Amino acid sequence: MKKRFLPLFWKFSIALIFMVVVFGSINIYFIRNSVYETFETELLKHSTSKAKMIADMAIQPLLYNNITSLNEMVSNVKQTDKDLAYILILDGKNHVIAHTFYKAIPEKLIDANILKPGEARSTVFIEDVGNSDNIVQDVAVPILSVNIGTVRVGFFEAGYQKEVRKTTIIFLWMVVIFLVIGISGAFIFSYIITQPIKTISTTASGFNLESLDADKINKIQLQNKFVLGLKKVISIDDELDTLIFTFNEMLRRLTTTYKELQSAQESLLQSRKMASVGTIAAGLAHEINNPIAGLRNSLRMISEKPERYLSNQEYISMMKEAVDKIEKVVNGVLDFSRKHEFVKTPVDIRQIVEEVLMLAAFHLEQSSISIIKEFPEKVPPIMGSANHLEHVILNVVLNSIDAIGERKASEPEIAGQIVFNIRIIRNELLLEINDNGTGIEAEMLDVIFDPFFTMKKIRQGTGLGLSISYNIIKEHGGDIVAKNRNEGGMQILIKFPLTT
């Protein structure tokens, strides 16, 4: 099952919003219940106080059986409180002797709240006969004792419920405001926490050592200007600041180390080039000595018989060819040995092969190795550094010459051969260099490009040639692999990407 990606910012935000909403909802629930219970308690206190007041006022009229005074008294009290629904005064037998109804008393109301002997108060909730949505709180208290009489007062809850709703709405708005502030704070807090981490992740995923300047590493900012300014004002650092500093320091060290490694690799490459020049030095001397011998012979012939104009012209032409050949060899060696920047330009791989074969011509001739070139008529250019590619191919050719020489030592009848083959497959150019040398043991193929691996005798190989070649090809975006040929020898396959 494929995992879904959820940014850290949203994880923080969702978690914080969830917490704010849950705690806000809990607060709303408890605040509403608390407010309702508070108003219920206050209403009960008010109702009980009112009922007791009426009970005290009713004692004398009731003892004198002055029913008219009782009715006037309850009527006057009801007019002073708009929330009063009714007032009932009952005798010891639970008969109504005074009330505030203009019409007959509802039968269900009389027996709705009967005060038992010994009770100080009895409270019930009754639906208003005229409006079922309006609840009446009926409170009954005794007049001296239940045997003498009872006072019942009914209070409409609508007014109190309205106050409850009003207060609840105020609290709700307060909670909503705190929710909005909390959610906004959650987003801001999540941004402050996750933005540096996101920046680090983005920087790390797009990190390119080659295009990064070590002197500019510390300018990478992982927090916005507001947060940085705020921290500067209050002079407080936290774990994020430590993370930022450590990350910047890591980038700086990594880039500096990479630059130093590149410099060391370039020096190693240059040293390896010089070693290759040393290897082909005898051949270069031969390539130069032969034209020099021709020059010396031509000069001798011209000096002996200066009057032979036509013959001297031929000697001069031969001298020019000799000079051109020497110049070509010397320029080739100088260009190969010179330190070049790694700059990619369109390169014809066939020309690179020709330059390498010219440098190794003497060794190939001395070892009696024939060269076969199987090149197509049209070969697209590749993007690469010509000098670096020359080093790679020359290193492979010199290894092939050594391998063929080792095989000839045990099999003198073998005719040495190196075959160059170029193929185009899809968007790749494949250069195969096949020899019929000794090959290599199968288990060694996986480590042939490792640094310091060599199959040559002590002091005859450093083990760096193929390792450097491997890195050069990788910097070209290509690949280099080695395998043994069925007919004997080794094949080096170099793959280059073709630009579209």
**Residue of 318, 322, 400, 316 whose CA lies nearest to 356:** 400
Check pLDDT > 80 for residue 310: no
Least confident window among 9-13, 212-216, 328-332, 377-381: 212-216
Q: What is the mean pLDDT of residues 391-409?
A: 87
- Beta bridge pairs of residue 419: 372, 434
Q: What is the mean pLDDT of residues 17-39?
A: 76
- Confidence band (pLDDT; 50, 70, 90) for 414? confident
CB 373 within 8 A of CB 325: no
CA 493, 494, 499: angle at the middle one, nearest 5?
140
Question: How large a percentage of the chain has pLDDT more than 90?
Answer: 9
> What is the Cα–Cα distance from 352 to 387, expressed in whole angstroms?
8
Residue listed under structure tokens 């850290």: 8
- Confidence band (pLDDT; 50, 70, 90) for 189? confident
- In this prediction, residue 293 carries a pLDDT of 64
Check pLDDT > 80 for residue 488: yes
- In this prediction, residue 218 carries a pLDDT of 46
Q: What is the mean pLDDT of residues 329-346?
A: 64
- In this prediction, residue 187 carries a pLDDT of 73
Highest mean pLDDT: which range of 79-83, 274-278, 494-498: 494-498
Check pLDDT > 80 for residue 179: no
Check pLDDT > 50 for residue 145: yes
Check pLDDT > 60 for residue 85: yes
Kindly report, residue by residue over 48-80, the tens digit of the pLDDT: 888 889 888 888 888 888 888 888 998 898 888
Q: What is the mean pLDDT of residues 248-273?
A: 69
- In this prediction, residue 214 carries a pLDDT of 47
Average pLDDT, the chain: 76
CB 214 within 8 A of CB 248: no
Least confident window among 95-99, 162-166, 224-228, 465-469: 224-228
> What is the Cα–Cα distance from 85 to 232, expressed in whole angstroms?
67
To the question of pTM greater than 0.75 for the whole model, the response is no
CB 479 within 8 A of CB 473: yes
Kindly report, residue by residue over 420-478, the tens digit of the pLDDT: 999 998 889 999 999 998 888 877 777 777 665 566 553 355 555 677 788 888 888 89
> What is the Cα–Cα distance from 495 to 263, expressed in whole angstroms?
26
Check pLDDT > 60 for residue 43: yes
> What is the Cα–Cα distance from 244 to 227, expressed in whole angstroms?
13
Q: Report residue 26 CA to chain centroid gap.
A: 36
User: How many beta carbons lie within 10 A of that of residue 183, not counting itself?
Assistant: 16
**Residue of 324, 397, 388 whose CA lies nearest to 356:** 397
If one compares 142 and 197, the residue with the highest pLDDT of the two is 142
Check pLDDT > 80 for residue 299: no
CB 20 within 8 A of CB 186: yes
**Do strands 382-384 and 416-425 pair parallel, antiparallel, or not at all (unpaired)?**
unpaired
Q: What is the mean pLDDT of residues 203-225?
A: 56
Check pLDDT > 80 for residue 405: yes
Residue 115 is classified by DSSP as P
> What is the Cα–Cα distance from 290 to 281, expressed in whole angstroms?
14
Q: Token pair for residue 439?
A: 């090959």
Helix H or strand E segment including 345? strand 345-347
Number of H helices, E strands in the chain: 12, 12
The greatest distance separating any two alpha carbons of the chain, rounded to the nearest whole angstrom, comes to: 177
- Beta bridge pairs of residue 425: 428
Spell out where 84-225 has E strands: 84-91, 96-99, 122-127, 135-143, 145-156
If one compares 137 and 307, the residue with the highest pLDDT of the two is 137
User: How many beta carbons lie within 10 A of that of residue 458, not counting itself?
Assistant: 6
- Confidence band (pLDDT; 50, 70, 90) for 155? confident
